Amino acid sequence: MTEPTTPDGEALAKGTSLWRDAWRRLLKNRAAMAGGIIVLLMGVMALSFDLLSRYVTRYTYDEQHLSYEPKPIGAHSVPMHYPTLADPAEVPLGMVDGNQDGFIDRAELSTYLSDQEFRRFDTSGDGFLDAEEVGDGAIPLLRNSPTDTLRIFDDNKDGKVSPAEARANEVTEILPDGEARWFIAQHDTDRDRKISASEYVGVPEPRMHLFGTDELGRDLLTRVLQGGRVSLMVGFIATFVSFLIGILWGATAGFLGGRTDNIMMRFVDVMYGLPFMFLVILLMVIFQEMPAQSKLYLLFLALGAVQWLTMSRIVRGQVISLKNREFVEAARCVGVSSKTIILRHLIPNALGPIIVYSTLTVPAVMLEEAFLSFLGLGVQAPYASWGSLAAEGAKAYREYPWLIIFPGAALAVTLLALNFLGDGLRDALDPQVRKD
């Protein structure tokens, strides 16, 4: 924060400046500080999302580990893009060929493949898949099958895999998941349906889904992190847009005054009467088919446009109360241009309430984005935001509560933190205004 200076750049006489005073008051406000720290943390996480995805969660936000239903908290899959390597070991392959006749037929595949997928693999169209047809396409064939798991690892055939049996087969980590065996299938270079130690080198290790997965088997933690990036980005950029428009509009109106002021603010009044969110909803529906990236920009603009009105009113009020002060008059006397007076003298001095309002605008915008995403109009796949994630979770929150709990909690905590921070800033910057 810049220290206030006299028009010719000389530092003001010593004393506690407004900003230092405010900073001290803010430090004392524990709720605001906690909020600030949380916001900062969330910001750092959002900015370092790529690193987190690569080195911490090891999943990308759009990689799928399909299963019959969303995987619960603590389930495992094998990351496809950033795998870690497991120790070599000898592991037998799952046998899809249930009756052991050397062919895989439709019935044997019913738990693995849809009819459509089956036809895709069955290139000769004879209703059977032979070894050649399976080839590299073995991926979906070897997916989750509890019976397979049993057949392979249940040494004493009691229908259960005991820890001892799992240990004996050195597959403890791999057990719960089909993808693990998919990777093994990939490494079975001599196609003997067994992986020898030499083939097994570099088999990826399964990783836990700390937050579970969604219905496409995408790691929810990674998606919440990525959604946080989008949500925060929407919040801050849209606020910045409203900040720019509002400041220019309000400062111009307030500084010029008279008829111009009247017309500009009457325009704002009329805009206030418009049901803005409805127009934004309409806009987003209409540009539904736009590419996801450009839709994101449209979202920034649309949400920013909703918020600039109040901002311009606040700035105008501040400017009017400042513009007849002596230092502005002095600047005008020495022939400083209107533009410079607005940019150098009025706006920096009016900054306090503007910062406060901006801080409180960010959560408002994030909430609006979440509303739009909830209606299916905001952030589009493959991107996600906390709003769109929670919207997906809300569809089946009875069966899979974690799908709404994590994104919802992330959103609520961040909004809470931003609100506390904004309130604290207001108390700190403007001690006359009592907390309301």
Partner 1 sequence: MLRYILRRLVSSILVLFVVITASFFVMRAAPGGPFDGEKKLADEVMANINARYHLDEPIWKQYALQMERILLHADFGPSMKYPDKSVNEILADGLPVSLILGIQAMFFALLLGLPAGLYAGLKQNRWQDYVAMTGAMAGVSVPSFVLGPILVYLFAMQLQWFDAANWNGMEHGLLGHLQSSVLPSLTLGMYYAAYVARLSRGGMLEVVRQDYVRTARAKGLSERTIVTRHTLKGAIMPVVSYLGPAFAGMLTGSVVIERIFNIPGLGTHFVQSAFNRDYPLVLGTIVLYSALLVALNLVVDIFYTVLDPRVSYD
* CB atoms near residue 428 (< 10 Å): 22
Pick from 269, 329, 340, 348 the residue near partner 1 by CB under 8 A.
269
> Any idea what DSSP says for residue 140?
G
Nearer to partner 1, 246 or 378 (CB): 378
Pick from 361, 408, 424, 427 the residue near partner 1 by CB under 8 A.
408
**113 touching partner 1, by CB under 8 A:** no
| Distance (Å, whole) CA 53 – CA 61 | 8
From 130-138, 140-148, 194-202, 276-284, give the range in contact with partner 1 by CB under 8 A: 276-284
**256 touching partner 1, by CB under 8 A:** no
Pick from 56, 216, 371, 430 the residue near partner 1 by CB under 8 A.
371
Nearer to partner 1, 204 or 424 (CB): 424
**291 touching partner 1, by CB under 8 A:** no
| Distance (Å, whole) CA 353 – CA 351 | 6
From 5-13, 70-78, 220-228, 387-395, give the range in contact with partner 1 by CB under 8 A: 387-395
Contact 4, 18 (CB under 8 A): yes
Site residues for partner 1, 129-148, by CB under 8 A, read: none
Instruction: List the beta bridge partners of residue 207.
Output: 77
**275 touching partner 1, by CB under 8 A:** yes
Query: Following DSSP, what letter does each residue of 247-301 receive, concatenated?
Result: HHHHHHHHHH-HHHHHHHHHHHHHHHHS-HHHHHHHHHHHTTTS-HHHHHHHHHH
Pick from 289, 326, 333, 335 the residue near partner 1 by CB under 8 A.
289
From 139-147, 235-243, 346-354, 403-411, give the range in contact with partner 1 by CB under 8 A: 403-411
Exposed / middle / buried, residue 170 (Cβ in 10 Å: 0-12, 13-18, 19+): middle
**267 touching partner 1, by CB under 8 A:** no
* CB atoms near residue 142 (< 10 Å): 23
Can you say whether residue 202 is alpha, beta or left, with left for phi > 0 and alpha for psi between -120 and 50 degrees? left
**370 touching partner 1, by CB under 8 A:** yes
CB of residue 243 to partner 1, shortest distance in Å: 20
* CB atoms near residue 205 (< 10 Å): 17
| Distance (Å, whole) CA 404 – CA 23 | 37
From 224-232, 235-243, 330-338, 388-396, give the range in contact with partner 1 by CB under 8 A: 388-396
**Residue written as tokens 């399976």?**
134
Nearer to partner 1, 314 or 377 (CB): 377
| Distance (Å, whole) CA 260 – CA 83 | 63
Residues that bind partner 1 (CB under 8 A): 269-270, 273-275, 277-279, 281-283, 285-289, 363, 367, 370-371, 374-375, 377, 387, 390-391, 394, 397-398, 401, 404, 408, 411-412, 415-416, 419-420, 423, 434-436
